[in-house]
A and B are shown apart, each in its own frame.
Chain A
Amino acid sequence: MKTRFLFPYWCRYLGWGLVIAHVPMSIIGRANGMINPLDNPPANQALFTGEHLFFLCTTLVMALGLFVVAFSREKVEDEQIWQVRLDSLRWAIFVNYFILIGSLVFIYDIAHILELNIWVPLLFFIIRFRWVIFRLNRSLSRED
């Protein structure tokens, strides 16, 4: 099956590597006194200062990692995988907007809503997609 707009299969491992790499990066950064500008907006709003770069790097590494994991090809791509992918994407958008609207109404914290919006749809998509594939595989092994 022709698949456009998907990364190769091996990119999944690269993506998880990036997601895992962002954990020690942010721990080391925080240990060295870097503060997430969303938690504590700096008085100096200049871009590309040390703290801004630290925030950019960690957030971008995490978001890119999740993005690559979410949109990398499966070993065998077929129409059912495409359907599961679309369905999971729809669920991810539903959940994202549910959380987004809920937090807009009940929380007065615009900065963290942005942060939430970066990873909620991707993470929910990945979990839902993998869960459905896991269930498909399990029903297959039950039949053997």
Chain B
Amino acid sequence: MKNNIRVERAIKNITQGELAEQVGVSRQTINTIESNKYVPSTVLALKIARVFGKPLEDVFMLEEGD
């Protein structure tokens, strides 16, 4: 699963730490999601999409082979 959290963060001008605080996880978790090392749960993915004010599929998208 790919995501464009990094781009969305840049648009909204917030750091990993700020996003982590808003969704209630650690900075490490946001960092590993951004670098595609960790796939978040549906609840967390929905929370992240809500912070950016976008539908889930604009932030997270399936890859070939998923």
Chain A contact residues, CB within 8 Å of chain B: 1, 76, 78-81, 83, 133, 136-137, 139-140, 143
Interface pairs (28), CB distance under 8 Å: A1-B24, A1-B25, A76-B25, A76-B26, A78-B26, A78-B29, A79-B29, A79-B41, A79-B44, A80-B25, A80-B26, A80-B28, A80-B29, A80-B32, A80-B38, A81-B26, A81-B29, A83-B38, A133-B28, A136-B28, A136-B31, A136-B32, A139-B31, A139-B32, A140-B27, A140-B28, A140-B31, A143-B31
For chain B, the bracket of interface size reads: 10 to 19
Chain B contact residues, CB within 8 Å of chain A: 24-29, 31-32, 35, 38, 40-41, 44
Q: Which of chain B's residues have a CB closer than 8 A to the CB of A1?
A: 24-25
Output the least CB separation between B8 and chain A (Å). 17
Q: Which secondary structure characterizes the binding site on chain A?
A: helix
Q: Which of chain B's residues have a CB closer than 8 A to the CB of A76?
A: 25-26
Q: Which 9 A-B pairs have the closest CB atoms?
A: A78-B25, A76-B26, A136-B28, A80-B29, A78-B29, A140-B31, A79-B41, A78-B26, A140-B28
Chain B, Cβ-Cβ closest to A136: B28
* CB-CB under 8 A for A79 and B24, given A136-B32, A139-B31, A140-B31: no
CA distance A28 to B35 in the complex (A): 52
Chain B, Cβ-Cβ closest to A133: B28
Contact, CB under 8 Å: A137 / B41? no
Output the least CB separation between A26 and chain B (Å). 37
CA distance A81 to B24 in the complex (A): 13
Chain B, Cβ-Cβ closest to A135: B28
CA distance A143 to B62 in the complex (A): 25
CA distance A79 to B41 in the complex (A): 8
CA distance A140 to B8 in the complex (A): 19
CA distance A1 to B24 in the complex (A): 8
